[in-house]
Structures are given as C-alpha cells and as structure tokens.
C-alpha cells in the first residue's frame, strides 16, 4: 500500500522534494468517498438542516416561507393532542418491549437448540417478514374480526368477545402483537448468529459439569449476547418511538386517538393540515430526544467493538 501511495503521487510538484500532500496521497480514496459524501449531504444532512430551518418558518411552497420565530414550537406545546400522542408513543414503546422484545431472543435460543430441521424452522420464523404490508394488514383485520378466528376460539372456550380494533384498551396492543408477529424474524436472525458464535466447547464443558439446558442458557448463552441485547434494546426504542405506519393504516390513529402516536401526529400536521412548519418543529423535538438515544447506542456499539 505504501508503495502504491507513493507511486500514485506522481512527480514532485513545485514544493520541491518535500513529502506529497495528504490530498495527493489519498486522492483516489477521497474520490471514492465523494459519491457517498454527496449522497449523505443531499439526502441526510440537507433535509435535517432544512427541517430545523422549517421549524422556525411558516412553510408555503408557492408564496415562499416566512420566519415565525418560536410560533411553531408554541403550537406544539399548546396542542393537547400532542400530549396525548406522547403518552401513546411511550405506551406503544412499552408494549413493544413487554410483548415483543423477548420474542426474538426466545426463538433464537430455541432454534439454536434444535438439532434437526433447524434451517427450515429458521426460514419459517423469518417468513412473516417478507409479507407485503397490504397483505399483512388485510390478514390481521380478518384475524381480529369480531367473528374472526380468535373470537371464534374465545367463544368456543366460553370467553367473551374481544373487539381488538375498536376497544380502546385493546387497539394499541393488537397492533403491537401484529407487528411482533411480522418483525421478530429479522432480530431473531441477528440473535441467532450471536448465539451460534458462542464457542461450542463452553457448552460441552458445562454439560460435562452437569449443566442442564436452562443452566446453559442462563450462564452461557444470555451473558454471551448481553451486549447485543442491550444494543437491540436501544435500537428498538429508537425505531418504536417513530412508529406510525400500522397506526395509520389500520386505525388512522383512532379509536378516539388511542393509537395516535407522535410520529402519526407529525404526519397529520404535515400532510393532512399541510402545516409543515409545526410538523418540522415536532420533528426537531423528536430529533433532540432520539439524539440522546443514538449517543447511547453509539457508545454501546463502541464498547461491543472493543
């Protein structure tokens, strides 16, 4: 590499026989970085900066934007529905942890213990991930139907009917169950890779010492993937704090705003009320909160690498 760098530097320039400048030395590398840098600037940093600028403006694509100071932020703090949406988002994040977070870990551990047909089970567990969202929503509408399969089973067991979509106590949980079913497969694959990378001889030694499955999981598997669990925990918090897709598609934030998340409220401000200024202000506030989570995730990532 050293040879390459020197040889590509070309003949010494006007500076005489001094070392070639860093730019000349790494010119090819910089050029390779350029497309990615441009992409990042155009599609990541420019929108972020624009979003911050928009949050202080009344956005009008035709007549031009006008500076409105902190008005948009004032609107955010004065809108009682935004308070509701924050509560709903925290509730949604909590439900996703309680209902969904442990599922991929459990499946990864179980699948790692399976000796036959492991590949088949792995694919079967991942399959819901590839279902198109439209099909997913249609399928679960049927599953949750007042006379659908779950309610038929409940009736058969002599239990009461559950209105999964329209009962405000159930609506958010119903969406979380649906999302967990669809999404646990990808996290499971990550966990599974980590579980399978634990040295086999540790398990063999433990078995010789008389450790059962539970002891092996508790004392070898879980400690080995502890950092990964922490990392995916933070990533899940970041992802679920922005959730709005299923809430929008299945219930449009209803019934009675029970599934109106903060992300969905941003969508409503931006695209239903065409108030991009307030939507941007909400985005900036979220950016600040998520920034903290991102820092934690970044630190954990570094620790993991070390």
Partner 1 sequence: MQKKKLPALLLSVAMLGALATACGSNNNNNGGSSDASPSASSPPASSPAASPSSSEPASPSASASDEKVTIKIYYPTADKPELRAIEDAKIKRFEAKYPNVTVVPDDWQYNVNEIGPKMAANEAPTFFNTFATEAKMLVEKGWAADITDLWNNYEHKDDINPVLQNQFNLDGKVYGVTQNGYVSEVVINKKMLADKGVAMPSYDWTWDDLYNIAKQVADPKKGIAGIAPMAKAGDGGWNWTNFLFEAGGEIQTVADGKVTAAFNSDAGVKALDFYKKLRWDANAVPQDWALDWGGATGAFAQGRAAMVIAGADGPLQQALQAGISPQDLAVYPMPAVQAGGKHTGVLGGNYLVINPNATKAEQQAAFNYIVFDYYSDDALASLEKSIQDLKTKGQYYVPPHMDYYKPDSEYGKKVQDLLAKYDNAFKYDPSEAALLDGKPEAQYNTQDYYSTMTNVIQEVFSKKNSDSKAVLDKAAADMQSKFYDNIKVQ
Is position 8 an interface residue for partner 1 (rule: CB under 8 A)? yes
Is position 270 an interface residue for partner 1 (rule: CB under 8 A)? yes
Is position 153 an interface residue for partner 1 (rule: CB under 8 A)? no
Least CB distance to partner 1 at residue 97 (A)? 26
The answer to whether 108 and 195 are in contact (CB under 8 A) is yes
Least CB distance to partner 1 at residue 164 (A)? 8
Site string for partner 1, 33-52 (x = CB under 8 A): -xx--xx--x----------
Footprint of partner 1 on 231-260 (CB under 8 A): 251-252, 254-257
Measuring CA to CA, which residue among 188, 167, 184, 185 is closest to residue 176? Answer: 184
- How far is CA 123 from each of CA 60, 118, 292, rounded to the nearest angstrom? 49, 9, 35
Closest to partner 1 by CB, 183 vs 246, is 246
Least CB distance to partner 1 at residue 91 (A)? 17
Q: How far apart are CA 97 and CA 51, in angstroms?
A: 30
The answer to whether 182 and 126 are in contact (CB under 8 A) is no
The answer to whether 178 and 95 are in contact (CB under 8 A) is no
Take residue 145 and report the two structure tokens written for it. Answer: 């139907």
Q: How far apart are CA 196 and CA 193, in angstroms?
A: 5
User: Out of 62, 130, 134, 157, which residue is the one contacting partner 1 (CB under 8 A)?
Assistant: 62
Q: How far apart are CA 280 and CA 284, in angstroms?
A: 6
Footprint of partner 1 on 156-175 (CB under 8 A): 161, 163-168
Interface contacts to partner 1, rule CB under 8 A: 3-4, 7-8, 27-28, 31-32, 34-35, 38-39, 42, 60-63, 144-147, 161, 163-168, 251-252, 254-257, 267, 270-274, 276
């Amino acid at each position: 590499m050293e040879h390459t760098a020197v040889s590509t530097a070309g003949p010494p320039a006007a500076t005489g026989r001094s070392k070639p400048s860093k730019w000349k030395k790494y010119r090819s590398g910089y050029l390779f970085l350029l497309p990615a840098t441009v992409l990042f600037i155009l599609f990541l940093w420019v929108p972020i900066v624009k979003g911050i600028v928009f949050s202080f403006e009344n956005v009008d694509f035709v007549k031009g934007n006008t500076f409105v100071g902190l008005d948009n932020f004032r609107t955010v703090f004065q809108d009682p529905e935004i308070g509701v949406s924050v509560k709903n988002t925290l509730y949604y994040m909590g439900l996703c942890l309680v209902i969904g977070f442990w599922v991929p870990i459990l499946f990864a551990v179980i699948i790692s213990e399976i000796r036959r047909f492991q590949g088949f089970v792995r694919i079967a567990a991942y399959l819901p991930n590839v279902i198109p969202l439209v099909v997913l929503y249609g399928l679960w509408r049927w599953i949750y139907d007042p006379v659908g399969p779950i309610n038929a089973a409940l009736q058969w067991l002599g239990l009461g009917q559950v209105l999964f979509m329209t009962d405000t106590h159930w609506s958010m949980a119903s969406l979380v169950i649906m999302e967990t079913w669809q999404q646990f497969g990808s996290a499971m694959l990550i966990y599974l890779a980590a579980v399978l990378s634990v040295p086999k001889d540790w398990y063999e030694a433990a078995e010789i010492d008389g450790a059962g499955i539970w002891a092996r999981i508790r004392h070898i598997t879980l400690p080995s993937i502890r950092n990964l669990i922490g990392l995916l925990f933070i990533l899940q918090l970041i992802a679920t704090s922005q959730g709005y897709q299923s809430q929008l598609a299945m219930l449009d934030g209803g019934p009675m705003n029970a599934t109106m998340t903060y992300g969905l409220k941003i969508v409503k401000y931006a695209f239903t009320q065409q108030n991009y200024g307030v939507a941007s202000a909400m985005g900036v506030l979220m950016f600040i909160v998520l920034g903290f989570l991102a820092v934690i995730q970044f630190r954990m990532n570094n620790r993991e690498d070390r």
